[in-house]
Amino acid sequence: MWKKNFLFRATESSPLTESENELFHDTEPALDSAGLVLDKFLSVWVQGEGSEEKPSAFTNMYVRTAMLDVRKHVSLLQPLQGRAHQIKQLLTKEQKRFLQQWLQVHAPQAWESSEDHFRDLFELE
> Long-range contact list for 33-37, CB < 8 A, 24+ apart?
33/67, 33/76, 36/69, 36/72, 36/74, 37/69, 37/70, 37/71
State the Cα–Cα distance between residues 39 and 20, nearest whole angstrom: 13
- Classify 68 as helix, strand or coil: strand
pLDDT at 29: 87
Which residues, 6+ apart, have CB-to-CB distance to 89 below 8 Å?
none
8, pLDDT greater than 90: yes
pLDDT, residue 124, reads 77
Please state the domain extents for the chain.
2-119
59 has a pLDDT exceeding 90: yes
Q: Quick one: which of 60, 124, 121, 73 has its CA closest to 94?
A: 124
Closest Cα partner for 78 from 34, 48, 33?
33
Residue 120 confidence (pLDDT) above 90: yes
What are the backbone dihedrals phi and psi of residue 75, each rounded to the nearest 5 degrees, phi first? -135, 160
**Whether the predicted pLDDT of 41 surpasses 80:** yes
The pTM (predicted TM-score) of the whole model is 0.92
* pLDDT score of 70: 85
**Mean pLDDT along residues 34-52:** 94
